[in-house]
Amino acid sequence: MVEQAHLREVGPRDGLQMVGTILPAERKIDWCRRTVAAGLHRVEVTSFVAPSVVPQFADAAEVARVAAAVLGIEASALAPNLKGAERAIASGVAAVNFVMSASEAHNLANVRRSRTQSLEEFARIVVHRDAVASGRVLLSGCIATSFGCTIAGAVPEADVLEIAERYLAIGADELIIADTVGYANPAQVRGLMSRILSIAGDRPVTCHFHDTRGLGLANVVSALEAGVRCFDTSLAGLGGCPFAPGASGNIDTEDTAYLLESLGFDTGVDIAALLELRRDVESWLPGEQFGGNIAGAGLPKTYRPAALAAR
Amino acid sequence: MVEQAHLREVGPRDGLQMVGTILPAERKIDWCRRTVAAGLHRVEVTSFVAPSVVPQFADAAEVARVAAAVLGIEASALAPNLKGAERAIASGVAAVNFVMSASEAHNLANVRRSRTQSLEEFARIVVHRDAVASGRVLLSGCIATSFGCTIAGAVPEADVLEIAERYLAIGADELIIADTVGYANPAQVRGLMSRILSIAGDRPVTCHFHDTRGLGLANVVSALEAGVRCFDTSLAGLGGCPFAPGASGNIDTEDTAYLLESLGFDTGVDIAALLELRRDVESWLPGEQFGGNIAGAGLPKTYRPAALAAR
């Protein structure tokens, strides 16, 4: 029996948040479709932020609707507030990802709310979901800056654990623990994720790492050791931070799949198909920096997917 | 008590092996000098290969002599054969690093000897060292392609362990286990390094990882967990593989120091001084690709060297 691990592609959302090119909806949908064809069934397809804030997502409703209805993927969408969540749920996505920061200063800067106000907003989203889409739409509670904050510096682990507990008590179906600014190190990941998993019980927990300081994949290994089996990743490592020019973004989908398969976890991912998709996504986004190593170096001669290696 | 971990800078050797610019000896010596000033006392300063094979190292004797005599560093030099080792020892370096491959095919391609012939050559080097520099020059036995080979594919762990045992029996003072082609994964590293450490007893063991496929720092974490405390690294991640254009090279010195310090290991390294040196090394090597993340992203606001954090 080969144990499974899961990737959720966040490129069409986190990856596109900062790029210079507004990608047409049909290309975003093509990206989602081909991600599913490559074996990745969970895709964060868009963000329901106000288009005035991020013009890239002015087509959120269209992308989400097509992705959810036509492509048959486990489409999720980010929502920063009740209004976004209402639009997301109306579009038909399978999951809505609400985001708040463990750092009070970051939360105020990012969504202009205190953490208490964010949790109250999440409670309103749960009420709305229960009223209009009970049993059909899952609500994920994401905790940004869980490993540190560029504004406040250190983030106490107790704050992250308390928000996780509040999320679960209010009704989150899943937790996403995010290293938004790339501060996490493997020892910190192992400690925090062990405690998060014991709080979460049987509710799924996903890690969302950035590779800003090169520790992204080392952090994945530590999270695996703590028991995490779900990871947010972005094709071509898209998703750089605007405050660190030249810094890499989300952990790279292809490289993370390679790591997980090498460690014996079946991801179901066809890395060659991802690399083909990557070439197209690169051509759609001229002038951007792309990350990841497998695209340049190729898979080792010794590589075998975990499901084959175990036979 | 803060536990220590050690980096050995291999940029002036492994990093320069492939670059297009022949760096003048005074710049190489400046690189060594400033590496020591930044707290890294072990430096592989050059390679005693035939200048006809690698013209970059035509100045090996001069660089090694100055580095060893003037700079007071624990200078090591690579030697592919007895002749190179004789020249290295005559130059006054503290350690000579002999290299052979665990893969027979790679060893034949790289040094045109069978593995048995390489071990015989190492035995001749030990005899020579004992005759001319007993107690003054350490001999390191490096095992290249320990985690896989671009020619042969998989390399049996038993082959690596056997070479390690032979090296130690012949008289190696230290072992260096190298992932020459960037095939290693964290599970493999933990398994092999645990067994190597138990064979080595109290003789030091260094890991030499390349970041070709993005797993370099994850492999460092696994090696630490197995008990390894010494790592070869290269400033700016120099040292790409000629067979994988665009692939990254050795694990990056600055990023590895950041990882080790974040995990609570005192390296003695001044990362800011390394970044200043890196800027100069980049300017000396126009047209090269450089790796590493800390140079672009900066240290986290939360960063404190392990020795300070433990106070």
Q: Per-residue pLDDT for A186 more than 90?
A: yes
B301 touches chain A (CB under 8 A): yes
Residues paired with residue B138 on neighbouring β-strands, in sequence order: B95
B8: which residues sit within 8 A by CB, 6+ positions away?
Answer: B40, B42, B43, B44, B76, B206, B230, B231, B232, B233
Q: Do B215 and A245 touch (CB under 8 A)?
A: no
A241, pLDDT greater than 80: no
Find the closest chain A residue to B186 by CA distance.
A263
Q: Give the C-alpha separation, B262 to A259, whole Å.
A: 22
- Structure confidence at residue A245 (pLDDT): 52
Residue A260 pLDDT > 90: yes
pLDDT at A18: 86
Nearest CA in chain A to B214: A293
Per-residue pLDDT tens digits for A83-120: 999 999 999 999 999 999 999 999 999 999 999 999 99
Whether residue B246 and residue A297 make contact (CB cut-off 8 A), yes or no, is yes
The model's pLDDT over A22-65, given as tens digits with 9 standing for 90+, comes to 999 999 999 999 999 999 999 999 999 999 989 999 999 999 99
Band (pLDDT 50/70/90 cuts) for residue A4 is very high
The answer to whether B262 touches A184, Cβ cutoff 8 Å, is no
- Contact of B293 with chain A, judged by CB distance below 8 Å, is answered with yes
Return the CA Rg of chain A: 18
Q: Do B263 and A187 count as a contact with CB atoms less than 8 A apart?
A: yes
Nearest to B212 among A215, A218, A297 (CB): A297
Residues of B designated as active site:
241
Inter-axis angle of helices A216-226 and B216-226, nearest 10: 50
What is the b/e burial string over A243-256, where b = at least 16 CB atoms within 10 angstroms of the residue's CB?
ebeebbbbbbbbbb
* Amino acid A289: pLDDT: 85
Pick from A264, A174, A274: which is nearest to A224 by CA?
A264
Q: Which residues of chain B are modeled with pLDDT < 50?
A: 243
Q: Is some CB atom of chain B closer than 8 A to the CB atom of A265?
A: no
Q: Do B264 and A187 touch (CB under 8 A)?
A: yes
| Intra-chain end-to-end CA distance of chain B, in Å | 9
Q: Do B296 and A247 touch (CB under 8 A)?
A: yes
A269/B contact by beta carbon, under 8 A? no
B263 touches chain A (CB under 8 A): yes
Nearest CA in chain A to B185: A262
Cβ–Cβ gap B186/A221 under 8 Å: yes
**Contact of A64 with A88, CB cutoff 8 Å:** yes
Residue indicated by tokens 């980010």 = A78
Domain boundaries of chain A, sorted by first residue:
6-309
- CA B152, distance to chain mean position in Å, is 23
- To the nearest whole Å, the CA of B132 is away from the closest chain A CA by 43
Give A258's contacts in chain B (Cβ within 8 Å). Answer: 213-214
Decide: B147 and B193 in contact? Cβ < 8 Å.
no
Cβ-contact A231, A256 below 8 angstroms = yes
Distance CA A144, CA B222 (A): 27
Task: Determine contact: A245 vs chain B, CB below 8 A.
Answer: yes
Indicate the CATH number of B6-309 among 3.40.1500.10, 3.40.710.10, 3.20.20.70, 3.40.50.300.
3.20.20.70
Tell me what pLDDT residue A213 has.
94
Q: Is B108 exposed, middle or buried (0-12, 13-18, 19+ CB in 10 A)?
A: middle
CB neighbours of B45 closer than 8 A, spacing ≥ 6?
A: B12, B13, B28, B32, B63, B64, B67, B68, B73, B75, B76, B77, B93
**Inter-chain contact A298–B222, Cβ cutoff 8 Å?**
no
Give the integer Cα–Cα distance in Å for A249 and A217: 12
Query: Could you report the predicted ipTM of this complex, rounded to two decimals?
Result: 0.94
% chain A with pLDDT above 70: 97
Contact A35, A9 (CB under 8 A): yes
- Residue in B244, B264, B294 closest to A214 by CB: B294
Distance from CA of A244 to the nearest CA of B (A): 5
Stretch 172-211 of chain A: residues touching chain B, C-beta under 8 Å: 181-183, 185-188, 211
Q: In this complex, which of A148, A186, A297 lies closest to B213 when CB atoms are compared?
A: A297
pLDDT-based confidence at residue A214 (cuts at 50, 70, 90): very high
Chain B contact present for A218, CB below 8 A:
yes
Q: Is the pLDDT of residue A271 over 70?
A: yes
Q: Which residues of A touch B221 (CB under 8 A)?
A: 186, 218, 221-222
Strand B74-79 and strand B95-101: pairing?
parallel
Q: How far apart are CA A122 and CA B21, in angstroms?
A: 58
Whole-structure pTM value? 0.96
